[in-house]
Amino acid sequence: MKTKLIAVTAVLFAASAFAATFNAVKPQASAKISGDYVEARSASVFCGPCHYNGELVTQGHDAVMAWKFDGGAYKGVSLKGVKAVAVVTCDENLSVNSDHKSQIVVDSSATSEQAAAVGALIQEKCGEQLGKVVQVNRAPVSFTHSETGYVVKADGIASLDVSYRIDNSCCTQPGLVWYDPLSPISGRKVGYTETAEYSGGITVPWNRGGEDSAFYGAIAF
């Protein structure tokens, strides 16, 4: 009887050890967030030093930011297919003054849970750049990433049209790329802003274009 008890105990111990080892190495389900990001500012991000210094004190008070999530989850909520736009503004150049305020717009096709998750995620990852979020809205948001660039529109609020630059040297020229993207991204490149505009209400309406004032890349949250 004693021998059987010892044998059963040994088997149970071995099984427990195996289970602990298996659980330690068992892969976890991936929730990696992926997708596209593009932004357009009201100042050039690629230019000569004189141009940059001239705009630093008079321009660059505003930006339109846009995300399209291809996959991943935030706090258990799937983000796949969700599109969002944020507009940030300041009384001075965004890189000079940290007293920013912003508006977030989530595509109306997202569920209420997705909208809440995306809004919270954006504020968590970009809170310093967004500053005080004064409005969160739902509206139709379109986000097209094509072989020529990006076209984004939040109906009645903001839009941008950014083209790729043929000469990618602008993305790596030392001393000529100013600022950093307002949202964490990988593979950062400079884009040419055909048009960018805002008419949502947290600041005066603005419209700019015809300048190297955009960044784009893959979401890196």
The 10 Å Cβ neighbour count of residue 206 is 16
Task: Identify residue 210 by its one-letter amino acid code.
Answer: G
Q: What CATH number does the domain located at 34-219 have?
A: 2.40.400
CA 124 to chain centre: 11
pLDDT tens profile 42-76: 998 887 677 766 676 778 899 999 999 999 999 99
Name which of 111, 110, 156 is nearest 135 in CA terms: 156
The Cα 181–Cα 37 span in angstroms is 10
Phi, psi (deg, nearest 5) at residue 159: -155, 160
Q: pLDDT: is 49 or 158 the higher one?
A: 158
Residue with token string 């030392």: 174
- pLDDT confidence band for 220 (50 / 70 / 90): very high
What does the pLDDT read at residue 9? 45
Helix (H/G/I), strand (E/B), else coil: 217? strand
What does the pLDDT read at residue 30? 42
Q: Buried (b) or exposed (e) across 78-101, using 16+ Cβ within 10 A?
A: bbeebbbbbbbbbebbbbeeeebb
- pLDDT confidence band for 6 (50 / 70 / 90): very low
Residue with token string 């991204």: 185
pLDDT tens profile 19-40: 343 333 333 344 699 999 999 9
213 to 11, 91, 115, 196: CA distances (angstroms): 67, 18, 28, 10
The pTM score is 0.83
* Domain boundary assignment for the chain: 34-219
Which range has highest mean pLDDT (52-61, 93-102, 124-133)? 124-133
Helix (H/G/I), strand (E/B), else coil: 75? coil
Decide if 13 contacts 29 (C-beta within 8 A): no
Identify any residues that bridge with 141 across adjacent strands, giving them in sequence order.
Answer: 154
Helix (H/G/I), strand (E/B), else coil: 179? coil
Q: pLDDT: is 169 or 18 the higher one?
A: 169
E strands along 42-184, which residues?
Answer: 62-71, 73-74, 77-78, 83-89, 101-107, 132-139, 141-145, 149-154, 158-164
pLDDT tens profile 179-191: 899 999 999 999 9
